[in-house]
Structure formats: C-alpha cells, structure tokens
Structure 1
Amino acid sequence: MTDLVLLHGGNHGSWCWGPFVEALNQQPGGFERVITLDMPGCGKKRGRDVVSLRLDDVVEELNQDLHVLGVSQAVLLGHSIAGAVLPRMVLAAPQLFSHLVFLACALPDEGQSILQLLGSTLHGESPDHVGWPLDPVHSTPQAMAVAMFGQDLSPPTLEWLLGEVSQDTTPLCVATGSISREGYAGMIPASYIITLRDNILPVHWQRRFAQRAGAEEVIEIDTAHEPFVSHPQLLAEVVRGFERHR
C-alpha cells in the first residue's frame, strides 16, 4: 500500500477534502495514509503573509511537508489550479511520488500563467483563453464564487463551502507565475479525471490539459468542478482504482 496525497485548488484548503476522505475511509484497505496538504495561506496555514512567495517557494514547502511525514512513492492528486504545481513538485523531488492524478486541473502552456490562460472573457468567447462563467470585470466576488463552486450543492453545503473559501488566500504566484514543465514529460505515470459538467474548466479545455499533463489514462465523471464535495462517493470509487491497479 502507498500514501495518497491531496492538494487543493485556488481559495481552498485541506478542509475541502473532508467529505471525500470520509467516503474513501468507508471501505477498508486501500491507501496506507491519506495526507491533505495546504498551500501557504490556506487551510491550516491561514493568516500567513504570502505576497512575496515565489512558485518555487510553494513547491519547496509542500514537498518539505511530505519529507517530514516520511512520504515515498505516493500517489499525488491535485485539483484545479494545483495543475500548475503538481509537475513542479515531481521535478523538485521525484522520489516522493509514483503516480500523478490531475482532477479537473488547469495546465498553462509552457511559459504561460494561470491568469493568462484564463483571460478576461466569458467561456467560449476566445479560442485562446478558458474564460469565466460570469463577466470577471463586472461580477461581484460572491456571485462569481457561487457560479464557480455552487453546482450540485445544497444551500447549507454551499454556505459552508463559501464560508471556508472566503478565509483562504492562495499565494498569488500560483496564478500569476509563468509555468514551466521542462523535463517533466514521462517522469512518472499520470492520469487525468475530467469533470463533464464543469462550470469553471470546459471539457474541451480539460482534454487539452490532459494532453499537457502527459496523462496515459483519462477518466470522465459526470460531475461539476468540485466532486470531492458534490459526489464524494463517486470520486472515492474512482480514486480507489489507482491503488488497486498499482
């Protein structure tokens, strides 16, 4: 058995995996440990000054967290903008990981940042940019958060999620830093999970990201962007497969 390491996306923290980890633990066996990481400023690391951090600083801290826990050859699963971080974690410390799983992850082109990838238009308006579900210039942060994260969630669950999201500060460098994956291709096996009803990353973009990730396996699930909250049992069954097929 091996460890499963989980890395959240933007304006989230380790808290977001709670329903998924609970579902995963309902079936005995599987992974040795489930480890939930926090980027600086998020989850258990809230309140940190993250303004001056570089992307390499974030990568180094996350890998150091795993070194402290004695992790080796783990399955590393990341969500959303964690797609900018996962390959760099492998490049910096390949001995820590045996398999990468990209869950509805955004992967910028070489030298591009997440914000450059997203652009400033609505979905479908620019062939070169992912776009947004609402006008990013004139929409309120609350309305944008509901549009991005609110699919398939009950009002109490959405209230909980938005309350947590409002307290997390993802390091700006993760969104604004130019991303390089030079040397990453073929280092370790990779899989990509496409969320078919995603209101943040349209499916055709996710297919493109799966190619950039070098994913040998692409799995499609009929969920919105946050299946660890909206469909934790379904996601748990998919992720258990990565341990069974080792």
Structure 2
Amino acid sequence: MSTYILIHGAFQGKWCWEKVKYSLEQKNHHVIAVDLPGSGEDMTPPQEVTLKSYTDKVIAVLEKVDSPVILVGHSMAGVVISQVAEYLPEKIQRLVYVSAIVPQNGQSLQDIMGDGGPKAIFNKTEKTLTLIDEYIVNEFFNECSEEDATAARRKMRPQPVLPFNGKVVLTEKNFGRVPCIYIETTKDHAIPVEAQREMYRQNSFDDVFSIDADHAPFFSQPENLTKYLHDIS
C-alpha cells in the first residue's frame, strides 16, 4: 500500500490528523504525521522558525522513506509541500492540497493572503501570531462537533510568522513534474472555497475533489477525507 506524509497548517500540529491517520492505517497504509518546527510538540523557538525550517523538517522525513510518498498539506502547508516537491520531486508520488494555499513561483504565503488571514494578535518579540479566541470556532471549526472544536482549541499554539514571508522557488523541471490533487472544502471560512478555486485553477491539477466541510475536514468530515486520500493511492 501507500505511504502518506501529513503536514498540518498554521496554529496546529500533527494532532489534527489523528482520525485520518488511524483510518488510513486501518486500510494498511503507512502514515507519518509531522509536527513542523515551533508547532505541536516541537519546541523550536518561534523566532528561529522559517520556511526553510519547515522544508528541512519534511525533507528529513522524506529521506528516511524508501519509496515515493503521497505528501499531503493542509492550509498553510500547501506552500511547504510545494517547495519540498521542488527539492525532491523523485521522492513524491503525488502532492495533495487539502483546503490549502497553492503558491506560484516567487510567491510567499503573505503575498497570497495579504491582510485576509485569520484574526490574530502579533507578538513582536517572539515573532508569533495568536488567534483571537472568539473567532477560532467560526473561522476554523464551524462544521465540527463541539467536542472536537473544544479539544482543538486547547491544542492550538501561537504561529511563527517568519515562514509566511518565505518565497517559494518552483520550476517546471522539478515541481512541475509531480502530479497534484486538490481537495476543496465548500464551507470553509478561513480560506473560502472561491479563493481555493482561484488558486487551483491557476495550476495544472490532475484532479479536484470536493467536501462539504469547514477548514478542518479531518474533524468535520474525516470519513470523506480518508476516502479521497485512499482513492488517490
């Protein structure tokens, strides 16, 4: 069966993939969920975290896997998996973007999102953003159960901001040869589906799947998300 590497989005950690990871493993897939530097259980000081820190972490995981993987990125991690594919295209069977940012060559996450990101407080010393609590459920977990939303809110951490300014370098020779799949989320308040569609229509995606989910389909629609990820294999 296939090997999946799951990369979380901003403010989150590998914990967000627990349901999907378990379900894919029940289908005999090998699944690795990664904590990016400064996120989840990774204690890298946030002011030291850059886009290169992210890509280095994912590359280190990829290099330990013998066969090409299905590399899955949620939200902000669309930028991360794109740049990793440029560096190691031969290690990636497919890229899967789950309600994710799709950058063009030379773009950063900040270039794409502008001032349209989540409502958050900036800590100048630590170089982090902390989500304003009253907006978290409406922007991230609007279709989730109260139990899942409450548990997720407790685990969310301040997000290092320096990776947002890292510009990707993507070429047709490397990134362009990796097959790409997009999974859109139609009830997403963080990255509205219209914005998702505008991004993926600018790229050559092999397929697009649609889930009636919020920005956290791994909580609100884990069965459907697992089904699509399994079918992609």
The two structures have a TM-score, normalised by structure 1, of 0.82
**What is the rounded CA distance, in whole Å, between the counterparts of 2:179 and 2:4 in structure 1?**
15
Equivalent residue of 1:162, what SS?
Answer: helix
**What is the rounded CA distance, in whole Å, between the counterparts of 2:148 and 2:49 in structure 1?**
32
Q: Deviations over 1:117-174 (max 9, x none)?
A: 2222xxxxxxxxxx3576999xx711232222121222222111011113xx444232
Q: Which has the higher strand share?
A: 2
Partner of 1:94: 89
**What is the rounded CA distance, in whole Å, between the counterparts of 2:112 and 2:185 in structure 1?**
19
Q: Does 1:150 align with 2:147?
A: no
| One-letter identity of the residue aligned with 1:232 | P
Q: Deviations over 1:71-125 (max 9, x none)?
A: 43111111001111111101112222111111111124443322232222xxxxx
Partner of 2:109: 114
Alignment match of 1:38 (pick from 19, 25, 35): 35
**What is the rounded CA distance, in whole Å, between the counterparts of 1:185 and 1:225 in structure 2?**
25
Equivalent residue of 1:76, what SS?
Answer: strand
Q: Does 1:196 align with 2:186?
A: yes
Equivalent residue of 1:160, what SS?
Answer: helix
Cα pair distance change 1:53/1:154, threshold 3 Å: closer
Paired residues, number: 225
Alignment match of 1:182 (pick from 171, 175, 187): 171
| One-letter identity of the residue aligned with 1:42 | S
Contact kept in structure 2, 1:75 and 1:99, CA below 8 Å: yes
Equivalent residue of 1:24, what SS?
Answer: helix
Equivalent residue of 1:186, what SS?
Answer: helix
**What is the rounded CA distance, in whole Å, between the counterparts of 1:163 and 1:236 in structure 2?**
24
| One-letter identity of the residue aligned with 2:170 | R
Equivalent residue of 1:51, what SS?
Answer: helix
The alignment-based identity, stated in percent, is 27
Structure 2: 5+ residue runs without aligned partners?
A: 123-130
**What is the rounded CA distance, in whole Å, between the counterparts of 1:134 and 1:186 in structure 2?**
34
Partner of 1:2: 2
Partner of 2:128: none
Cα pair distance change 1:202/1:63, threshold 3 Å: same
CA RMSD of aligned residues (A): 2.4
Q: Does 1:58 align with 2:47?
A: no
Contact kept in structure 1, 2:77 and 2:101, CA below 8 Å: yes
Q: Deviations over 1:191-241 (max 9, x none)?
A: 101111111112221112213443111111111111101111111111110
Contact kept in structure 2, 1:5 and 1:74, CA below 8 Å: yes
1:50 Cα offset (Å): 3.3
Contact kept in structure 1, 2:38 and 2:45, CA below 8 Å: yes
Partner of 1:126: none
Partner of 2:199: 209
Cα pair distance change 1:172/1:193, threshold 3 Å: same
Contact kept in structure 2, 1:190 and 1:217, CA below 8 Å: yes
Equivalent residue of 2:215, what SS?
Answer: coil
| One-letter identity of the residue aligned with 1:147 | N
| One-letter identity of the residue aligned with 2:6 | L
Partner of 1:72: 67
Structure 1: 5+ residue runs without aligned partners?
A: 121-130
1:40 Cα offset (Å): 0.4
The two structures have a TM-score, normalised by structure 2, of 0.86
**What is the rounded CA distance, in whole Å, between the counterparts of 1:81 and 1:113 in structure 2?**
10
**What is the rounded CA distance, in whole Å, between the counterparts of 1:241 and 1:152 in structure 2?**
24
Alignment of 1:223-234 (within 5 A): 223-234=213-224
